[in-house]
Structure 1
């Protein structure tokens, strides 16, 4: 009879251990799958659809349409191209967000060939991060400090209120305004 409680204890301990190992294996499997998915996204970026590619689902169709129209009109007037990409937390880790934004800008070829006059705005609502990638032709017109000020003064205030469309509209409008002025100065 003394062996029965001991056997029961060992059986329960084994079941608990199996359960913990299954949880750990499942957790590790999710991490591996997420890492593989992120690498797959990096290696095989989808082609852009218009100027606004909203992978995070932040903007309504109407908002995307308005942003696309604004960018199209500016591009026709100046040849400067803007791209907007929102990136959810599944597609990249927090520490690789900036690298992914630059990778997208280069792969999508934002800006005219030979002019390198593109601006890509990468946004992650989930990570609360924004990154502005400037082509070399545009980077000559903006200092890092100016870009930082536009982010802080024109994008961020509305983002903090949850108004991502208005923040994006304010920020892009400010960038376009400064670019128009700088182009007239040349």
Structure 2
């Protein structure tokens, strides 16, 4: 009798376990297949330079990071450089960059941050300035910096020089 009761309870436990796993799995699949970006999870920042596309050497990342840290120590403004292979579920790097900026920063800091996002795979660059910095770094100026620095150098496959030159131009503009 005890063995039979144990067997029945064990089967019931397994059934409940599997059915709850199926619910979680189907909910996760539904979230991943949706085009609604509210549930989209961005990768966590790796520092002020997040090279998710792995196009920079460790030394190049340290050099860019050093420039950013030196600037941020003397300013209320922040700068993030991000390289990415994919912007899914987004269709434009502009929207991806704006939402990444909002996602990574809290509301107080977001307005004083510049996000430079580059994708070698997509061959696109976007510089997004937080609200408070738009007076110093307009959308037009962001596009000009991107075109004259990053695009010019990436055509020669010199991603580091393009990002560094753009970083220095951004710092000059928002100082």
Q: TM-score, normalised by structure 1?
A: 0.69
Q: Distance in 1 between matches of 2:117 and 2:158?
A: 16
Farther off after superposition, 44-53 or 62-71 = 44-53
Q: Is the 8 A contact 1:154 1:170 kept in 2?
A: yes
Does 1:47 find its partner at 2:47?
A: no
Distance 1:37 1:85 in 2: 24
Q: How far apart, in 2, do the equivalents of 1:52 and 1:175 lie?
A: 15
Matches of 1:37 and 1:115 in 2, distance apart?
27
Alpha-carbon distance, 1:65 to partner: 0.9
What secondary structure is seen at the aligned counterpart in 1 of 2:50?
A: strand
Q: Which residue of 2 aligns with 1:69?
A: 66
What secondary structure is seen at the aligned counterpart in 2 of 1:119?
strand
Looking at structure 1, the residues matched to 101 and 71 of structure 2 have their Cα atoms a distance apart, in angstroms, of: 18
Judging by fraction of residues, say which structure has more helix.
1
Q: Deviations over 1:108-132 (max 9, x none)?
A: 017x826711000111111110011
Deviation at 1:142, TM superposition (A): 2.3
Partner in structure 2 of residue 121 of structure 1: 116
Q: Is the 8 A contact 2:102 2:110 kept in 1?
A: no
Q: Does structure 2 retain, via aligned residues, the 8 Å contact 1:56–1:87?
A: yes
Pick the structure with greater CA Rg: 1
- Length, aligned pairs only: 145
> In the TM superposition, what is the alpha-carbon distance from 1:66 to its structure 2 partner?
0.8
Unaligned runs of 5+ in 2: 1-28
Runs (5+) with no aligned partner, structure 1: 1-31, 181-186
1:101 maps onto 2:97 in alignment:
yes
Write the distance in 1 (CA, Å) between the matches of 2:34 and 2:59. Answer: 30
Tell me the CA shift for residue 46 of structure 1: 2.5
Match of 1:141 in 2: 136
Whether the 8 Å contact between 1:83 and 1:119 is mirrored in structure 2 is yes
Q: Name the TM-score, length of structure 2 as normaliser.
A: 0.73
> 1:77-101 CA distances to partner (integer Å, 9 max, x unpaired)?
1121001111103x52672332221
Kept in 2: contact 1:94–1:127 (CA 8 A): no
Aligned to 1:20: none
Output the aligned Cα RMSD: 2.7
